Amino acid sequence: MEEKLQKLKDLLAQYQDLRHTASLLEWDQQCYMPHGGSESRSYQSATILRLAHETITSDEVGKLLEELTPRVDEMNPDSNTARLIKVANRRYHKLTRVPAKLVAEIAETVARAHNVWVDARAESNFAKFEPYLKRIVELRREYAGQFQPYDHVYDPLLDDYEPGMKTAEVQKIFAALRPQQVELIKAISAKPQVDSSFLYQKFDPQKQWDFGKKVITDFGYDWEHGRLDTAAHPFTINFGRDDVRLTTRVDPNFFNSAFFANLHECGHGLYEQGSAPELERTVLAGGASLAIHESQSRMWENLVGRSLPFWRHYYPRLQQEFPAQLGNVSLEAFYRGINRVEPSPIRVEADEATYNLHIMLRLEIEIGLMDGTLDVHDLPEIWNNRMEEYLGIRPADDRHGVLQDVHWSGGMIGYFATYALGNIVSVQFWEKINQDIPDLPAQIEAGQFGELLGWVRENIHRHGKKFEPQELVARVTGSKIDAAPYMRYLRQKFGEIYGL
C-alpha cells in the first residue's frame, strides 16, 4: 500500500505544481504582463491547465484510487491519508467528466477575456466585453452539462467553489436573510446619517500603502513568503504555502478603498500561509472552500478592522500620517464614518449592512444566465434595475455597474454566493473565538493579534481542505452555516451606531 500511496502523492504533487504554475501566469497577467500579451498568454494558460487536467484524470490516478479507496475503512477517518484519498477521489471523479479540450478552451477564452474586460471597464463599454462574456457563459453551461443529472444547472458551478453545497441550500439561506437585512437597512435609513465626508479627501498613496502594510504585518502576514502588488481588482493568489501574494488598488481620494482591501486580502493570505506544512503539494493544501476563505478575510477586514478597539490602537498613528485630513476628526466620528451604512453601487466598497444584497443580485443573475432565463445582452439593464430595486440606487454607467467585478472575465461563475456565506460564517467563528478568548477586545486594543491568529491557525487554517465547509463549520461552532449570529452582530453594531 505504501508504494501505491506514494505514487498517488507524486502524481497529485505534479498536478498541484501545474495548477500553481497556471496561477503564476494569471498573477503576472493581472499585475505585470504587457497589455498586448494576452494572445500568447491564452495559449500558455490553456496548455498548462490541460496538462494539469490530464495528470489528475489519468488512468494511472484512477487505478491507484480504485486500489487505495477500500483501505480507507481501516484508517482513522480524520487522518491526512484517509482525507487525501477521499478528496482526491472527489476531484478525480468530478474532473474525469470534463473533457481536457473543454478545460483548455475555457482557459484560453478567459485569458483573452481579461484584458478586454479591463479595457471595457475603463471605457465603461459593456458592448466591448459582451461577446467574450457570451462565450464564457456558453462554455460554463457546457461544463455544467457534463454533470447531468443534477438538481439544478448551477449546482456543478457552485460546487467548484463550495464543495458539497447545493443551489437550493444557498437560496434558502439567502431567502431567510434578505428580508432581515432589508428591514435593518430601512430602520437605519430612518435615522440621521453619520458623516463620512472626511474619508473623501486627498490621501497620499504612498502613505496609504505604508500604513496598510504596517497593519497587516502586525496581523502576522509573513513577508518572507509573500508580497503586495497593485491590480485592477484586488485579489490574493498562491503558488503553495510558501509563496502567497496579495494585491490591492489605491484611490488617492478615498481612504477606505486600499486600507480595507489590504486587510481583506491579508485574511486570505494568512489562511493560505497557515495551511499545515505536511499538506503542501497535495490536494488537501489551502482553504476548505471560498466561503471559509471569505470568513477569514471578512474577519480581519470587518470584525477586527472596523471595530472600535482596533481604532483605539491605530487611529492616533493614522492621524499622525494624515494630520490635515484627520487631525480634527475624533475617534468616535472616524469609527462611525468608516461604518456608515449607505447603499453604494460598488460591491467591494459596500458597508456590512448592505453588502450581502450585492451578492444576492449577482447570484440571481448568474442562475438566470445558466438556466437561460436571462440573456447576456440584457445584463446592463437587468443589473441597473435590480440595483434600484434592492438598494434604491442606479449605477451611473457600466463601469460602476455590470462591469465592476473581475470574476466573469475569469469564468468564475458560481463564485459570488461564497462572499455572503463567508460573511455569515465569519460571525459564527467570531462568537466561538470570543468565548475562547474572553479578553480579545483588550488584546486588539493593545495591537496584539498573536492569540487570535493562533486560534484560527489551530482550528481552521491548518486543516486545509481536509473537511468540507459545512463539516468544518460544525466542528468549530457546533452547527452548520447559520445566519442568526450574523444578524445579531449587525443589529447590535449598527443599533449602537445609529441609535436603533
Residues labelled catalytic: 265
With vertex at residue 37, the alpha carbon angle to CA 34 and CA 38, rounded to the nearest 5 degrees, is 120
Cell of 321: 500620517
Cell of 434: 470570543
Radius of gyration of the chain from its Cα atoms, rounded to whole angstroms: 22
Dihedral sign for Cα atoms in the order 172, 347, 142, 147? negative
Cell of 157: 458551478
Residue 228 bridge partners (DSSP): 246
**Run of H or E including 391:** helix 379-391
Following CA atoms 221, 224, 229, 234 in sequence, which dihedral angle do they give, to the nearest 10 degrees? -30
Dihedral sign for Cα atoms in the order 149, 151, 154, 157? negative
Cell 449570529 identifies what position?
485
Can you tell me the distance from the alpha carbon of 303 to that of 310, in angstroms, rounded to the nearest whole number? 9
Instruction: Give residue 353's region: left, alpha or beta (phi > 0; psi -120 to 50).
Output: alpha
| DSSP-derived 3-state class of residue 248 | strand
- How far the first Cα of the chain sits from its last, in Å, is 63
DSSP 177: H
Helices then strands, each counted (H, E), the chain: 21, 3
| DSSP-derived 3-state class of residue 34 | coil
